[in-house]
Amino acid sequence: MILKTIETEGVQVDIEWEKFIVGSSFFLPCIDTVSFRAQMDRHAKARGIEIKMRDRVENLYWGVRVWRVA
């Protein structure tokens, strides 16, 4: 069983992996970007999904933008 819930700073986030198509992206506001990125890497690799991530500020919020590339 592959889990789909990721936890960042005590908040559970459900990623709809089946809807996360190549070329799409999402932004998740968070402070602990290192932990979030590590969890995203593990979840994506378990599903055979290739992603790219970048720490950034969007709409005055610090967080991570995640792109599905393959």
Contact 47, 65 (CB under 8 A): no
The residue ranking higher by pLDDT, 3 or 11, is: 11
Q: Give CA–CA dist 6/11, Å, rounded.
A: 8
Predicted pLDDT of residue 62: 97
Inform me whether the pLDDT recorded for 70 exceeds 80.
yes
The domain of 36 spans 5-68
* Mean pLDDT score across all residues of the chain: 92
Contact 30, 64 (CB under 8 A): yes
Instruction: Strands of the chain (E only): list them.
Output: 5-8, 11-14, 25-29, 51-58, 61-68
**What's the structural domain count of the chain?**
1
Burial class (CB in 10 A: 0-12, 13-18, 19+), 59: exposed
Question: Mind listing the pLDDT tens digit for each residue in 4-31?
Answer: 788 888 889 998 888 999 999 999 999 9
pTM: 0.89
